[in-house]
Structure formats: structure tokens, C-alpha cells
Structure 1
Amino acid sequence: MTFAIGAAVIVIPIFMFSAAKWNRGNGVGLGFDWLAIVSSWVFGIMAAVKIYEINRDQEVMMTTIHKLFADVRFLACGAYLGSYLLYRLIAVAWESYQDMKLRRS
């Protein structure tokens, strides 16, 4: 399982970058951006609501917050945001590489 997670962290952002790069006119990159926005909202709202409930009910935060970490929606949003961040870093690095290449020629 550790290998699968490690491979996914490498493969998924590269796939996203490739799909966005070679399907520029189809809005694939824009779709990735909107999905990241929605994931951020869901991720943030779930965290805020859980922290509000912990404070309201005066529960022990360290034990109660771990229920949120096991929520599939929270994990899915966090996994997508991590992949999206790496995809955007690859895109920025690619653009920097292209700029450097143009300046040298």
C-alpha cells in the first residue's frame, strides 16, 4: 500500500500536467482548477464545522478531530489538493524551463 500511495503521488500530478498541456483548448486545466476550488471549499468547511462542534460541545480536540481525518470526503479532498499542488508546481517549473530555453537561444 505504501508503494501504491508513493506511486500515485508521482504519477497523478504528471498525468494531470500532461492532460492539461496537450488538451489546452478543451478546458482540462480549467476543470482541474475548478475541482481544486470545490475541494478547498469542502475541505475547509468540514474542518471549520468539526472544530466549531468540538468547541461547542467542549470535547477533547485531539481525540475528536481524528474522526474527521478518517472521513472519506475529507481524505479525497485533501488527496486531490495535494495532487493539484504538485501539478501546479510542475506547470510552473515547466514554464520556467521554457522561458530559460527561450532566453538562451
Structure 2
Amino acid sequence: MKIIIIATTLLVPILMLYLQHNSDKTRHFFNAMAVISSIVFGSIAATSIYQIIVDDAVFMTTIHAVFLNPLFLVAGAYMGVFLIYQLMYFTFYDT
């Protein structure tokens, strides 16, 4: 499983780089998805922390429940892949 995660972390940004090179619309789509993912990721994290503070719960044990939220995980994964894609873009195309 670790090899699949590492391979995906490398292959998906390379595929994104190739696709955006062929179409400006694709680049805008990737950027829009990153904005949406950031909003979702931040909102879930903020509301989870707020709920812990309101409930006066034990922080370290309760906050880990956020990792069970599939939307949080998908948004975070996209942001990670997008960051690598952006670094590749700036390395190869931005002069």
C-alpha cells in the first residue's frame, strides 16, 4: 500500500502537469479545485476544533476523529498532490 501511495503522489502531479500544458482550462480547473479543497479542509478542521472547545473535551483524543471524515481526507489529499504539481510547474515552466 505504501508503494501505491508514493507512486500516486508522483504520477498524479506529472499527469496534472501534462494536462495543464495542453489546456489553460485544465489549469483553471485544478486551481479552482484547490480553492474548494482548502475551504472544505479548513472548515472541517475549524468546526471540529470549535466543537471540542465547546464540549470541553479532551483535545488529543477527540481531535483524531476528524481523520475519519472522508471529505477531510480527500480534500487534504488533493491539496497535497496540488502542492507537488505547483512545485513541478514552477520548476519546469516558470522562468
Asked if Structure 1 and Structure 2 have the same fold, meaning a TM-score greater than 0.5 normalized by the shorter chain, the answer is yes
* Offset from partner CA, 1:42-79 (integer Å, 9 cap, x none): 00000000000000000011111111012110000000
Among 48, 51, 69, the alignment partner of 1:50 is: 48
Q: What is aligned with 1:7?
A: 7
Structure 1 residue runs of 4 or more that deviate by more than 2 Å after TM superposition? none
Q: Which residue identity does 1:54 align to in structure 2?
A: I
Q: Which residue identity does 1:3 align to in structure 2?
A: I
For residues 64 and 14 of structure 1, the distance between their equivalents in structure 2, rounded to whole angstroms, comes to 37
Give the TM-score, by structure 1 length: 0.87
Give the TM-score, by structure 2 length: 0.96
RMSD of the TM alignment (CA)?
0.9
Structure 1: state its 5+ residue gaps. Answer: 100-105
2:57 partner SS: coil
Q: What is aligned with 1:21?
A: 21
Q: What is aligned with 1:33?
A: 31
Aligned length: 95
How far apart are residue 31 of structure 1 and its match? 0.2
Q: Which residue identity does 2:4 align to in structure 1?
A: A
How far apart are residue 22 of structure 1 and its match? 1.5
Among 74, 79, 84, the alignment partner of 1:81 is: 79
Structure 2: state its 5+ residue gaps. Answer: none
For residues 55 and 21 of structure 1, the distance between their equivalents in structure 2, rounded to whole angstroms, comes to 46
State percent identity of aligned pairs: 37
